[in-house]
Amino acid sequence: MTNFVTVSQMVKDNELKVYNDEALMNNKKVTTSDISRPGIELTGYFDYYPSERIQLFGQTESAYSRSMTANNRYKVMLELCREDTPALLISRNIQPSEELLKAASEHKVPVIGSELPTTRLSSMITEYLDENLAPRESIHGVLVDVYGIGILLTGHSGIGKSETALELIKRGHRLIADDRVDVYQRDEKTIVGEAPKILNHLLEIRGIGIIDVMNLFGAGAVRSQSEIQLIINLENWSADKNYDRIGTLEDKRTFFDVDVPQITVPVKVGRNISIIIEVAAMNYRAKKMGYDATKKFEDNLGLLIKENEEKTKNDEEGK
């Protein structure tokens, strides 16, 4: 689990500007995705001040601080800049006051900013911190994008996950991660997977070794991350096992507190697993759009049974 994000990394990833000494960012860490807009604090009330959060100044906070005397403004800024305060963030390219910069430098708090409006800036930084501070889990599998659906291939080592991914890439789909997939929860309903940095864009094929998918197939053959919407578990065919033939057996796998649907596909000679995965992706999308082939089959079966019952009843009455 990632416990913090450095302010310097956040500035780099979000193209923020720095108003005071950049060296102040090196040892500053952000540990929560919550952002505070100091409203009541500017009036001098600090009893419940969340100093561990990034403090965001928009037009309202900046305008109010300008209405204060220079001495009062400096005193309030000194209270805002505490040892655990990660940074002061300013929107709309608003120039920070001399008192703010002085107080921040004295307490070694970086002052950073952006040209974005306050609400958009707050949303962008919150989403960034949510993603980077989220609990993570590393799992064995291959993650591919098939028709825009993030599909996680699982199964025992040697079952053919990487080879199946290679065939899918040749058919125009995209690789996200091979062998190890870093999984984290983006929100209450979304699980996202990505490759560890050391394995980014790489695919291992037994007998050949490591190949660089981006180098061989182009930038369109890879993605940096994807939502995991469907899990396909590959397993060796067993004549003794009863596999789902209609689609009524619903299985799932839980990551953190989010359930992801899972299906099992048996592997044996003669089965084209890549095409099966493509069909599974299209079928998943169709269900999301409201069309369920299994339900249609059950409805048709019910109508057939009803027609046969009526026919039998009419035949008995005609005797």
The per-residue pLDDT for range 103-157, each reduced to its tens digit, is: 999 999 999 999 999 999 999 999 999 888 888 899 999 999 999 999 999 999 8
Question: Under a CB-based contact definition with an 8 Å cutoff, are residues 147 and 282 in contact?
Answer: yes
Kind and range of the H or E element at 215?
helix 213-217
Q: What is the DSSP letter of 222?
A: B
Catalytic (active site) residue 299: no
Cα within 13 Å of Cα(32), Cβ side: 12
Task: Give me the residue spans of the domains in the chain.
Answer: 5-133, 136-294
Amino acid identity at 240: D
Domain 136-294: state its class: alpha beta
Q: Which two tokens stand for residue 141?
A: 């599998």
3-state DSSP assignment of residue 173: coil
Per annotation, catalytic residue among 12, 66, 120, 140: 140
- Mean residue pLDDT of the chain comes to 89
Size (the chain), residues? 319
Which residues are bridge partners to 136 per DSSP?
184
Mean pLDDT score, 190-207: 92
Mean pLDDT of 243-256: 74
Residues pairing with 193 in the sheet: 183, 226
161 labelled catalytic: yes
Residue 2 confidence (pLDDT): 53
% of the chain residues with pLDDT over 90: 70
Q: Is 140 a catalytic residue?
A: yes
pLDDT at 249: 60
Q: Which residue has the higher pLDDT, 306 or 171?
A: 171
pLDDT of residue 239: 75
**Residue 121 to residues 112, 124, 295: CA-CA distances in angstroms?**
12, 5, 45
Report whether 141 belongs to an annotated binding site.
no
* CATH architecture classification, 5-133: 3-Layer(aba) Sandwich (3.40)
Closest by Cα among 229, 261, 263, 228 to 244: 263
Name which of 35-44, 51-60, 216-225, 242-251 the model is least confident about: 242-251
What is the per-residue pLDDT for 43?
Answer: 92
Residue located via tokens 């919407």: 229
**pTM score of the predicted model:** 0.74
Q: Is 238 annotated as a binding residue?
A: no
Measured CA angle at 126 (ends 121, 131), to 5 deg: 130
Specify the pLDDT at position 246. Answer: 58
Task: Say whether 296 is catalytic.
Answer: no
pLDDT of residue 262 exceeding 80: yes
Closest CA relative to residue 30, chosen from 11, 49, 58: 11
* Top-confidence residue, 263 or 188: 263
263 is in an annotated binding site: no
Q: Choose the weakest-confidence range: 21-25, 207-211, 298-302.
A: 298-302
Catalytic residue among 53, 73, 161, 201: 161
- Give pLDDT, residue 70: 94
Domains 5-133 and 136-294 share a fold: no
Stretch 261-282: mean pLDDT: 90
3-state secondary structure labels for all residues of 180-197? EEEEEEEECCEEEEECCH
The answer to whether residues 253 and 173 touch, using CB atoms and an 8 Å cutoff, is no
Known binding residue 156? Answer is yes
148 labelled as ligand-binding? no
The percentage of residues in the chain with a pLDDT greater than 70, rounded to a whole number, is: 93
Q: Is the pLDDT of residue 306 over 90?
A: no
What is the pLDDT, as a whole number, of residue 243?
A: 66
- Of 266, 279, 277, nearest to 166 by C-alpha is 277
On the question of pLDDT at 162 being above 90, the answer is: yes
Amino acid at the residue 273:
I
DSSP per-residue string spanning 42-73: GGT--TT--TTSEEEE-HHHHHHHHTS-HHHH
Whose structure tokens read 């009526």? 310
